[in-house]
Structure 1
Amino acid sequence: MTPQPLITHLYTADPSAHVFNNKLYIYPSHDRETDIAFNDNGDQYDMTDYHVFSMETIDGPVTDHGVVLAAKDVPWVSKQMWAPDAATKNGKYYLYFPARDQEGIFRIGVAVANSPEGPFLPEKEFIAGSYSIDPASFVDEDGEGYLYFGGIWGGQLQCWKKDGKGLVFDASKTGPQEPSGEGVLALCPRVAQLSEDMLSFVEPPRDLQILAPETGEPLLADDHERRFLRRRGCIGTAGSTISLTRLVTRIFLSMRLGIRRSVRLRIRVGFWSLCWAGRRIIRLLNSQGSGICSIMIVNCRKVSIILDL
């Protein structure tokens, strides 16, 4: 069967897919037509709101639940509500989203709803200590929540530097810049544990350490020649490869997940890579299924994380 787009009446990207209450929910970004010139900083992606979509079955019709959160309703946001993610805990649903604050700096906010389709009520301030873009939420089996985030170039991760008082934002690093040079370590995503109510960090964000599988040493900034091997479950033929031109490369794949109700799905693919699929971290070792997800390659090392459905 030839894959078909699920959404054709809006410009959407960056899908985050979750199964809540035995239904598939998709939380994408929502782009729009603008006259803003294209640049490496991403200014042309002038996104102002979020829609939520749902499906009763993987091959069934898609329901658009409309605008569930808009920039005009978030006091701290100036523009550019980029790729979001969602999580649930204690009967509540949380939408994590990046946007520029009133000073033009990307921060991460959170909005809360009583149902997966929203509407979501935003907190008045961004999460203290948050920065950059692409939040990916994860609630562990013990109930502890975590937020992973970070994106270079327009995502501003390279702009944050440590000094004696903590992190400071260096605006001169904005744009298509990233670490480079012999022996310089790669710039990695961040992770922070979330509070019990999922609304704040209980610790300062920490750097993720990514190790090169062949050496066991931290990955270097100039080590761009990594491979993502697509196996069964992905569109395309087994054995095809995509070269990563930068350390962090987003690959958006349409896959068709064999969703079963109330089961834990162990997605398996035979390659070394820590990926964010549907913005959730999953175990990757040989998949029999398929689905709609957003995959971000952040390293080339085998990991052990499970996606619950």
Structure 2
Amino acid sequence: MLLELAVGDAYGAGFEFAEAEFVQQYNDLTAYRQHPRHRLKPGSYTDDTQMSMAIAETLISHEPWTPQVLAERFVRTFKRDPREGYAKRFYAFLQQVEDGETFLAQIGNTSEKSGAAMRVSPVGVLPTVEQVLHSAKLQAAITHNTELGINAACAAALMSHYFIYQLGKKRDLGQFLESHVSGNWNTPWQGEVGTLGWMCVQAAVTAVMRNDSMCGILQNCIAFTGDVDTVGAIALAAASCSVEVTQDLPPHLIEGLENGSYGRDYLMQLDRKLISLVSKNS
């Protein structure tokens, strides 16, 4: 899950809000691309992956699922490996705060953007819909304590949960989400994807439902244009858990993903630990 999430994030980072012509020319999965305006090195993941790692590590550690613990994880995960890709104000905020207590005391938590949704896919390993919704809401409220922000996070978490526990056919994913979370999740997304969380999740659901391979899903996510690294991260995290999706990500994208201290190998280790949680819960 995390490896595929990171590939979607890193590949999408080369196209985030790029011109449509650039996307059309280079969205062929042959390589990670240098963004025409950003400095991020091709193959590097962004905040989508780093914050998902913080969520995954909290689940694996069996620490209490509280705002204090999660905020501490967010700060620690950033401090050990500061990186570009965060929104400028949030990046500056993370540089400034020293611990979870300060984070909670100073954070503004009224955003409707995609931050709570982009990081929540690992929560899908929890064994019941009720637990997934509870945990997704709690982590979302730390930074995105709005109806739209929380709903987007709940839908993203349920995407991976739906496939992990084989709760239905891929074609019924949108209907399943609408039965548990307010939103038009079964309505196909069209056009550029904005920065609001529900937009990114709806686009990710559309890409997963209309394609049967990881390659097809990833290209579809990027072809929307807009906030496509987040769309790709959410979609590939969920689709990696589906028995109906051909797991055909190109080897050069997997091998080309950054592999420093918290890169590809570390993500694969976290994935194995997340899978062990599923086997215990199922």
User: Which TM-score applies when normalising by structure 2?
Assistant: 0.31
More helix by share: 2
Based on CA coordinates, which of the two structures has the bigger radius of gyration? 1
Q: More strand per residue: 1 or 2?
A: 1
Q: Which has the higher contact order (CA 8 A, sep 6+)?
A: 2
Q: TM-score, normalised by structure 1?
A: 0.29
